[in-house]
Chains A and B, each alone.
Chain A
Amino acid sequence: EVQLVESGGGLVQPGGSLRLSCAASGFPFSSYAMHWVRQAPGKGLEYVSAISSNGGSTYYANSVKGRFTISRDNSKNTLYLQMGSLRAEDMAVYYCARKSSGTYWVDYWGQGTLVTVSS
């Protein structure tokens, strides 16, 4: 069974940093591109970042470019999102998601971890 379990969310002050993790199991993690997607309270879903299966290519939404870094450790089956210079508008539930192999839609999502940015 495919499982994606996010962790690392919490309360952080504006300007602060946080690292999210996503532990993957039930599939060959190193064969799949992965995403981070977020959902602000009462808002729709927003693509944040993506990374290729081997970590060689990374992509970012303009809203987080230069502040967030996506990475992965295929030996640990774990995806990361290092978030810096956090702003109030970054407050959201952050989801880890798997891109379907050989295609472009997302086929599995984690349950999300909440990031609260507040002083």
Chain B
Amino acid sequence: EIVMTQSPATLSVSPGERPTLSCRASQSVSSNLAWYQQKPGQAPRLLIYGASTRATGIPARFSGSGSGTEFTLTISSLQSEDFAVYFCQQYNNWPLYTFGQGTKLEIK
């Protein structure tokens, strides 16, 4: 099983700042990596697929990078609506998806 490790678990940031979230795979997943945003009581929302491609309707302030085992999600200028939990997912060996434990972005 491919283990996905996200860091940090919690990130305290202020609106307007540029947070970077990390996701590491225990073995290479090529670019088969997605990022999701989840707010309390809501369904997760797809942000990024293919490690760096924004999903339809996702603002340009969200960007993803990386390949192999190291990936990052960056929010260029944090907005109030961006405070949420973010998790990564590898889909390199469908359907045996595995997910990271999530990074919670909280208001500083």
Interfacial residues, chain A to chain B (CB-CB below 8 A): 4, 33, 35, 37, 43-47, 50, 59, 61, 95, 99-100, 103-112
User: Chain B's interface: helix, strand, loop or mixed, by majority?
Assistant: loop
Closest to B97 in A: A47
Q: Do A95 and B44 have beta carbons less than 8 Å apart?
A: yes
Q: Do B43 and A112 have beta carbons less than 8 Å apart?
A: yes
Chain B residues with Cβ below 8 Å from A103 are 49
Q: Which of B14-22, B60-68, B71-79, B98-106 contacts A (4 or more CB under 8 A)?
A: B98-106
A108 to B36, CA, bound (A): 10
Q: Is B55 an interface position by the 8 A CB rule?
A: yes
Nearest Cβ on chain A to B47's Cβ, whole angstroms: 11
Q: Other CB < 8 Å A-B pairs besides A44-B101, A99-B94, 13 of them?
A: A44-B87, A44-B99, A45-B87, A47-B98, A47-B99, A50-B94, A50-B95, A95-B43, A105-B34, A106-B91, A106-B97, A109-B44, A109-B45
Nearest Cβ on chain A to B58's Cβ, whole angstroms: 12
A92 to B89, CA, bound (A): 19
Interface range on chain B: under 10, 10 to 19, 20 to 34, or 35 or more? 20 to 34
Chain A residues with Cβ below 8 Å from B59 are none
If the complex has contacts A95-B43, A111-B42, A112-B43, are A106 and B95 also in contact, measured as CB distance less than 8 A? no
Chain A residues with Cβ below 8 Å from B95 are 33, 35, 47, 50, 59, 99
A11 to B34, CA, bound (A): 33
If the complex has contacts A59-B95, A103-B49, are A110 and B89 also in contact, measured as CB distance less than 8 A? no
A117 to B36, CA, bound (A): 28
Chain B residues with Cβ below 8 Å from A45 are 44, 87, 89, 99, 102
Shortest beta-carbon contacts, A-B, top 7: A50-B95, A45-B99, A44-B101, A104-B91, A109-B43, A104-B94, A47-B97
Q: Is B84 an interface position by the 8 A CB rule?
A: no
Q: Do A100 and B99 have beta carbons less than 8 Å apart?
A: no
Closest to A52 in B: B95
